[in-house]
A and B are shown apart, each in its own frame.
Chain A
Amino acid sequence: MTLDPKSDIKDYDLFAGCTIQNRIPFLEKSARFVFEKLGYTLHDNSYGCCPDPVGVMSTDYQTWLTLGARNLALSEKSNHPIVSLCNGCTETLKAVNFELKHKKEDFDAVKKRLESVGRTYFGTTQVKHFIELFHEDIGLEAIKALVVKPLTGLKIATHVGCHYSRPSEMMQVDDAMNPRFPAEILEALGAIHIDYEEANLCCTSALARNNEKASNGLMRRKYQSIIDSGAQIIAVNCPSCYQQLEVGQRTMKKAFDMIVKIPVMYVTELMALTFGASINDIGLKLHQIKPIKLLKEFGFE
């Protein structure tokens, strides 16, 4: 459950994150389409890397805190809350606020560093994952009201991803061990949400950086579980999970001669389609595993 009060604010700073901005921007396209339909105005800000709570935080905690606080300071200045399109960015921005609130020594050091480049940080910027904003502030009924073409009959499994809700102390969203918000949003769009044994299993994007064998083995478990469930699409809400689960399907062929061909789609892409976007509008042809044939079977153009 979120601790933040529901808000009527319709102006947000968009934290798309560098993976979406500069590698898979079609995900941003669908998100912007959805926010516009929902009556929100998204503002760009000159953020740097969030920075990544896996790569950069593991290398040096002080860098991670300082650059995270710099981004939060940018939004304190613009006076907008942040909506993030990425689990990792959300974790960093929420966790940096949390850490600096609880660790006086780090707060003083970060404040001093930022002041030396002319920035001020107070820790007042609210940060939300887009799923949290949709589910908690906008609500399922309001989402349902915008659906012009439901996902009726489509069987969709969700992979929510670890950094969306954990560590729960910092993330304060959904049920940390059994997150349901993405599934509930998809059901509001008319889809059949498919549960599967390994729903909570990590995409292993971090593990793959050091132990490819273990990562491949875990991904095989995950894919097999999804195949057994009969799901036609894997819905995600994190660009790292998106890439890992898309690219991983080719890896399965190479590593185990295992055939996996299940389109991976962002929750915002599925929302955009039901809100009236065309397949072309949101660049679905740019996916590695093309969802187009399947979507056409369900009447999407």
Chain B
Amino acid sequence: MEKMEKIDPVLSLHNDFTDTELGISLNLCYNCSTCSTICPVALETEGKFNPRSIILLANFDYEERLIVDLSPNVWDCTMCELCQEECPEGVNLHEIFLKIKNASASYHNIPKSYTSETNQVYLYGKAVPSQPVIDKRREQLGLPKSPSTDVDEIKKLMGMTPVEKILKEIDNLEKQAEEK
């Protein structure tokens, strides 16, 4: 079992962006806006969400705004990876956004559908577990039974990563909110 220390997500994200390979990549941005021009969500939201502003805020240590206030909201990224491909400076937008999302998740700022999906994996080993009606359909189609997996092993592995704690904390917060 790895030791889980209590980490401040803002500080941790700040460290990820400082004196690291990713931090160097982040520093390469000179604001050319290629990412925001190609981003479909920037187009649809008329720039309210755009990758450039997120990179800019990350570059100027606005980690708190990114993960506490979600302003701009990183979860509006549709993960199409167009910005990652087209950035002329080779800024690793893929990984920078990922770090912001993970930090937001440990700050409990994550859309419900993401944590419910991860929780399904924790409980059943799969994001979409097998269900009797589909098992029957598979049989009708002449398909073999949906292969099972070792759920306990998956649960054990997830217990060695930060995710178990994140899921539990979010679950507790939801229960508290319901009681109120």
Contact = CB atoms under 8 A, between A and B. Distances in A.
B11 interface: no
Contact of B105 (A18, A28, A59): A59
Interface stretch (B27-35, B52-60, B149-157): B149-157
Contacts, number: 197
Interface stretch (B61-69, B94-102, B171-179): B94-102
Contacts of B156: 116-117
Contacts of B126: 18, 21-22, 48-49
A209 B163 contact: no
A7 to B, nearest CB: 24
Given A117-B153, A207-B76, A48 B162 contact: no
B124 to A, nearest CB: 9
A78 interface: no
Contacts of B115: 59
Interface residues of A, number: 61
Given A60-B105, A162-B81, 7 more contacts: A21-B138, A48-B126, A166-B80, A202-B78, A210-B76, A218-B78, A283-B141
A178 to B, nearest CB: 11
Contacts of B157: 63, 66-67, 70, 113-114, 117
A44 B146 CA distance: 9
A209 B113 contact: yes
Interface string B101-115: 110010000110111
A62 B161 contact: yes
A17 B100 CA distance: 27
A139 interface: no
A206 B140 CA distance: 32
Interface residues of B, number: 63
Interface of B: 2, 40-41, 44-45, 49, 73, 75-82, 84-86, 94, 98, 101-102, 105, 110-111, 113-115, 117-118, 120-121, 125-131, 134, 137-138, 140-144, 146-151, 153-154, 156-158, 160-163, 166
A54 B121 contact: no
Nearest to A282: B141
Nearest to A47: B149
B127 A167 contact: no
A46 B147 contact: yes
Nearest to A95: B94
Interface of A: 18-19, 21-23, 25-26, 28-29, 32, 44-49, 51-63, 66-67, 70, 109, 113-114, 116-117, 162-163, 166-168, 176-177, 200-202, 204-207, 209-211, 214-215, 217-218, 221, 283, 286
Nearest to A177: B85
A152 B179 CA distance: 62
Contact of A113 (B125, B151, B160): B160
Contacts of B149: 46-48
Contacts of A32: 143
Nearest to A166: B81
Contacts of B151: 48
B161 A25 contact: no
